[in-house]
Amino acid sequence: MVRTFFVLFTLMKRVVVIGGGLAGLVSSILLVRKGISVILFEEKSYPLHRVCGEYISNEVIPFLKRNDLYPEKLEPISISRFHLTSPSGVSLNMPLDLGGFGLSRYAFDHWLYERALEAGVKFYQDRATHCVFDQDIFNIQTRSGQHLSADVVIGAFGKKSTLDKSLDRTFTYKRYPYIGVKYHARSHEADHDAIALHNFRDGYCGISRVEDGKFNICYLTARYNLRKHGSIPGMEEEVLFKNPHLKKIFETADFLFEKPEVINEISFFPKEPVHDHILMAGDSAGMIAPLCGNGMAIALHSAMMLSELIQLNIENGFDRQKLEESYQIAWNAAFRKRLQSARNMQHLFGAAYLTELAVLLNKAIPPLAAMLMKRTHGLAF
């Protein structure tokens, strides 16, 4: 009897997830599997390419395997070495403590989308334009004119969304100088078992293998470089190719996209894990600088934390304030320091002479590099 009541109560609570990247897909799957009704709004259709280095820290493997979400079938590539180069081409090679795997978002997100459909997540391909909390209920409005209500909303809409503006989040008032560019390519020159981070003036380029013998080539740089050199190929020739490793790889690679994927206005400004009662997961709660290579691990980890707390809270009678407080505490304890350390490192890797110095220092004192890596990476969960 008590059990029946509990199951009914659980089913009655409606969770809406906005955004179907890693954070949104995984939190939906976990909640639906616990009998909670979930509707997910994703504005794009799967499969899709995303600007991302596609190197996933192994800290996620126990979680994925425990939940039958490790995409073995997609043949992820194991990566156990780190190769760092300075703008002038000085190289540092080191083993990775925990390591990671390479898998394209095109394949991984689509595979998770299929798991979510199987589990019973209800998808709407639509953009949420407004989400207003009033009298203990959320009212969500979409671009196509749908109106929907929800008891709990998970904001998993990534680094920047039009929804951030309508929610009046403070970081949307700032302009950000970074752009991200990504390719898939075949290459004989790139490292086969390493995640490489090749630095250049005002940026860095990550290169590592993904499935099917392809390489991900993804870089972050200052927007003014693009303005100054007029085009992406022009900027690559004038700025990136000053690093001899990048010049060799770019000039010999066989690029597989007609044109690169590009994103603008990438922000590492601190955000809040809860805003207007919306529980934020993944980049919506805060984005770690890409040079650390573990934004995806954080997206998955925050999705796990959040869905467990929502489930527990619903089981115990649903107390919104308690849910928000416990999530904020858990999120801050797990991620705030890591994001701050990554922001500091991001500044270091912006200026050419500092990067040169940092690579030389890390080469001379290997424990320093290991310490920097530890500060931005989490433990297996």
DSSP, collapsed to helix, strand or coil, labels residue 274 as: strand
H or E segment to which residue 307 belongs:
helix 295-315
Distance CA 157, CA 138 (A): 16
Q: Is 373 in the site for ligand FAD (CB under 6 A)?
A: no
Q: Is 299 in the site for ligand FAD (CB under 6 A)?
A: yes
User: Of 218, 222, 226, 369, which lies in the binding site for ligand FAD, with binding defined by CB under 6 A?
Assistant: 218
Q: Which DSSP category does 168 fall into?
A: T
Closer to ligand FAD at the Cβ: 144 or 316?
A: 144
Distance CA 147, CA 127 (A): 12
Stretch that binds ligand FAD, among 161-169, 305-313, 316-324, 343-351 (CB under 6 A): 161-169
Q: Is 211 in the site for ligand FAD (CB under 6 A)?
A: no
Closer to ligand FAD at the Cβ: 87 or 206?
A: 206
Query: What value does the CA radius of gyration of the chain take, rounded to a whole number of Å?
Result: 21
Burial category of 254 from C-beta neighbours within 10 Å (exposed 0-12, middle 13-18, buried 19 and up)? exposed
Q: Is 79 in the site for ligand FAD (CB under 6 A)?
A: no
Q: Which of residues 177-206 bind ligand FAD (CB under 6 A)?
A: 180, 206
User: Of 15, 16, 19, 240, which lies in the binding site for ligand FAD, with binding defined by CB under 6 A?
Assistant: 19
Q: Is 268 in the site for ligand FAD (CB under 6 A)?
A: no
Contacts with 70 (C-beta within 8 Å, 6 or more apart), sequence order: 61, 64
Distance CA 115, CA 108 (A): 11
User: Of 23, 194, 310, 372, which lies in the binding site for ligand FAD, with binding defined by CB under 6 A?
Assistant: 23
CB of 298 vs ligand FAD, minimal distance in Å:
6
Q: Is 339 in the site for ligand FAD (CB under 6 A)?
A: no
Q: Looking up tokens 């009212």, which residue turns up?
A: 139
Stretch that binds ligand FAD, among 9-17, 291-299, 334-342, 367-375 (CB under 6 A): 291-299
Q: Which of residues 101-140 bind ligand FAD (CB under 6 A)?
A: 127-128
Smallest CA-to-CA distance from 285 within 348, 223, 253, 328 is with: 328
Distance CA 131, CA 134 (A): 10
Residue 255 β-bridge partners: 185
CB of 165 vs ligand FAD, minimal distance in Å:
10
Q: Which residues bind ligand FAD (CB under 6 A)?
A: 18-24, 41-44, 50-56, 127-128, 156-159, 161-163, 180, 206, 218, 220, 266, 282-284, 287, 290, 293-297, 299
